[in-house]
Structure 1
């Protein structure tokens, strides 16, 4: 069921809910992308009432700023308030994992469970990023030259889609199916909001340097599940300090899966999430 949500500043946000059970709000990654978590909804439809949404400026939501982390946290609170109820579980993927973590830190009484999928941790020096860039180029293999050509120039909408599919293909472990999975993510193509992505990424980088996220995580007294794919090109040791800081957390690493573990290890992903939500 497609539903509309209004942010507290009137911004129109696209949302959809499906399934039965306790509420679970899903936060997609990016920043600057749109919701691609429908496969997660299908995996969990008998266990949770999932609520998916496009973040402001992205996909089917209103193309409107400001693109600030605090603004996205407020939008997530509007989604929670209008669709989920007073308390909900959260599942965030990649950048969405950081958004869900920030929301839980600011509103712990409104979160029952936090599921942190393929995030990049809280280390202020972002020491994982050089490893990511090297691994990205290695994983792109025969597509590297074309990706570099597209990366270096202003792109038409068709070229932007081609660039995204090539880059996203590196987020899957099996080169035989990677391009097909990435193309499915890009269909239908809703256009990347690069301004949003640049603004949010810059703010998160500064936030990690200037705030004590580790201390805030040590005070977060709610259950947290960290899910990683062992083949993610973002090194998973980047999340170690977050795992150590959280007082009530568990960690599941799915062998053979990469950045979108529900695609390459769906049964294990569903088992991990549903077991956690039943606790």
Structure 2
């Protein structure tokens, strides 16, 4: 059921809730995209009350800033408070994994479990990024020339969607299904908020250089599950230092999957998450 969440600065956020059970709040990737985690919610709604939302300025939420990590953490707190209750589990994907981690560090008493899916770690030098760029171009294969041509110029809305679909296709391990999966992600197309993307990415880079997230993670006293797609083009060793820093952390790598592991191994993904949320 779709609902509206109002933040403390009166920004309207689109949200959706479904299922029954303990509350599980999702944080989608981007930054600057919209919620793409409905398939994950459908996998888990028999075991949890799933709560999804479009981050501010994105998708169906009101298009206004400011676009800062602190503001997104506060927005997530409004979603949690109005739809989830006093304590929730969090599942974040990609940029959303960093947002969920930051929320847990700022508000550990309001989080029961943290599921960190396909994040890129906390290393300040972001040494994974050159590897990602090389892997991206390699996996694009025959689509690389078109992707580079679109990326080098101003794009029409239709070309922006085409460029995104080509880039997102590299996030899947199976080349025969990659474009189909990427098309599904882009349908319906809600547009990328480039201002949000630039602002938040720049701030995260500064934060990783200037703050000691590893020390804060070492003090985080709640269970964390890291879920990786073994064939994600973002090298998974980028997450190793986060794994080492967290005192209560399990890690699952799903073979034959990329950046969205639930798409290519839904059963394995569901098993990993439900076993973590409801241990024997």
**TM-score, normalization: structure 2?**
0.99
Matches of 1:90 and 1:9 in 2, distance apart?
A: 23
Matched, 1:206 2:206: yes
Matches of 1:260 and 1:101 in 2, distance apart?
A: 18
What's the CA shift for 1:270?
0.2
- Mapping 1:83-122, distance limit 5 Å: 83-122=83-122
Matched, 1:178 2:178: yes
What's the CA shift for 1:10?
0.2
Counterpart position of 1:29: 29
Matches of 2:162 and 2:8 in 1, distance apart?
A: 36
Counterpart position of 2:274: 274
- Secondary structure (helix, strand or coil) at the match of 1:91 reads strand
Matches of 2:219 and 2:8 in 1, distance apart?
A: 28
What's the CA shift for 1:45?
1.3
- Secondary structure (helix, strand or coil) at the match of 1:123 reads coil
What's the CA shift for 1:138?
0.2
Matches of 1:50 and 1:233 in 2, distance apart?
A: 28
Matches of 1:126 and 1:76 in 2, distance apart?
A: 25
Counterpart position of 2:161: 161
**TM-score, normalization: structure 1?**
1.00
What's the CA shift for 1:65?
0.2
Segments of 5+ residues of structure 1 without an aligned counterpart are none
Matches of 2:263 and 2:81 in 1, distance apart?
A: 30
How many positions carry a matched residue from both structures? 279
Segments of 5+ residues of structure 2 without an aligned counterpart are none
What's the CA shift for 1:49?
0.5
Kindly report structure 1 stretches of 4+ aligned residues shifted beyond 6 Å.
none
Matches of 1:80 and 1:90 in 2, distance apart?
A: 10
- Secondary structure (helix, strand or coil) at the match of 1:149 reads helix
Counterpart position of 2:5: 5
**What is the alpha-carbon root mean square deviation over aligned residues?**
0.4
- Secondary structure (helix, strand or coil) at the match of 1:113 reads strand
Matches of 2:204 and 2:46 in 1, distance apart?
A: 35
Deviation string, structure 1 residues 37-59 (Cα, Å, up to 9, x no partner): 00001100110010000000000
What's the CA shift for 1:20?
1.1
